[in-house]
Every structure is written in structure tokens, then in C-alpha cells.
Chain A
Amino acid sequence: SQELEQSPQSLIVQEGKNLTINCTSSKTLYGLYWYKQKYGEGLIFLMMLQKGGEEKSHEKITAKLDEKKQQSSLHITASQPSHAGIYLCGADMWGNKLVFGAGTILRVKS
């Protein structure tokens, strides 16, 4: 069973708009990873968060981990068509193996 809940399941945004994807765990996270996946391809590593309250940014993507280390958000500023894809959060719950959420499908309309 999934131990990570992602929301929304999918969203469509107009190019240039901001958006946020959430990832919630019922257990404390030792590490939280964000990946992006294009259909039929592997996962592209975006960011890793380990400390409560941590925030990281890369280009127009910002990821945060809350103080309790049970919820993370991924925020995209001024979305572009290149941001389209499936965003997956993965949790390091037992040391090495990752447990993933079901993913959020993002479409960006030009």
C-alpha cells in the first residue's frame, strides 16, 4: 500500500502560472526525494531534502520539507511547457529503499 500521498493527481496550468504539488507521509521521513518522469522514460533526480524546515531551489523549482518532516511541497514558478511530466516524491523510510507516491501528472498549456 502507498505510504505517501501526492496531491493533486493531475493538473493543467497555463504557461507562466505558478503551481504547487504536495507530498504527505503518515510517518517521519528520513529523506524526501523529488523526481520528474517523462512518459516512457526513467526518473530524473530533482532534489533531496533531509532536514526539517529545509528548502532547496533549482532554476524555477523550489522544494520544501516541513518541520515535522512529514510533508513536502514542490513549487514551480512561471511554468513552461518543458516542466510538463510526472512528478514523483520518494521517501527514504527504511534506510536505503525508496517508497514512492503515485505521482502528479502536470500539463502546461501554451
Chain B
Amino acid sequence: GAGVSQTPSNKVTEKGKYVELRCDPISGHTALYWYRQSLGQGPEFLIYFQGTGAADDSGLPNDRFFAVRPEGSVSTLKIQRTERGDSAVYLCASSRDQTDEQYFGPGTRLTVT
């Protein structure tokens, strides 16, 4: 079956603008995760959804970052008033449940100019 997909693959935006990043998890996976990866580093956890609810958002860096998963499938990561430091690859992962291995999407490369 299809894997995790993310759109767009690349996004260039100006400082101060609003962006939305989309994640389509593997069908039937109840758990969904967002990570952020900077160059030369491993991914850093942002937020975890179990179903429609955010079970753990402790990794979100500040209140400019917000994520939703209204129907328990597709998720959107929203960043307000983007800053140059937000530039990174944003990775989405899903798993059957919270104890299973996580499968990652190809990521969205965000560049804030």
C-alpha cells in the first residue's frame, strides 16, 4: 500500500508569512507524529496525535506552531509569522498504534527567506 505522503515537497516563504504543511499517513494508522530535522542533525520531536487529539505537543518550540488532525487521518502543521530559524525539513510519521514502529514520509523542506 501507499506510504506516508507529505505536501508540498518544498516550500519557500518570506519571513513573517504563514505556512501550512500537510501529511497523509498510512491508511489505518492511528498514531501520527511530526518531527523537524535541521541540517546535520537527527529529527527532533514536535507533536504526536493519537486519533484526532494531540496526545503530546511538548516538542512544539513556541505558540507560532500549531497542528491539527480533525478527522484522525490527514494532519496539517501550521506555522505563523515564520522566522528564518524555522527553515528545516519537516517530517511526518505514522504508526498502527503508539507501540508500533513509525514509518516516515519524505518530508517537506521549508526555507524562510
Contacts and interface: CB of A to CB of B under 8 A. Distances in A.
A41 interface: yes
A43 B40 contact: no
Contacts of B98: 95-96
Interface stretch (A13-21, A76-84, A100-108): A100-108
Given A35-B104, A43-B91, A43-B104, A96 B55 contact: yes
Contacts of A35: 104
A44 B4 CA distance: 11
Contacts of A97: 33, 45, 48, 56, 59
B41 interface: yes
Contacts of A42: 4, 91, 104-107
| Majority secondary structure, A binding face | strand
A98 B45 contact: yes
Interface in A62-109: 88, 90, 95-103
Interface in A5-63: 33, 35, 40-45, 48
B72 interface: no
A96 B42 contact: no
Given A42-B4, A45-B101, A100 B107 contact: no
Interface residues of B, number: 25
B31 interface: yes
A50 to B, nearest CB: 10
A100 B101 contact: no
A2 B91 CA distance: 18
Contacts of B51: none
B66 interface: no
B103 interface: yes
16 contacts: A42-B104, A42-B106, A43-B43, A43-B93, A45-B101, A88-B42, A88-B43, A90-B42, A96-B31, A96-B55, A96-B56, A97-B48, A98-B43, A98-B45, A100-B43, A100-B44
Interface of A: 2, 4, 33, 35, 40-45, 48, 88, 90, 95-103
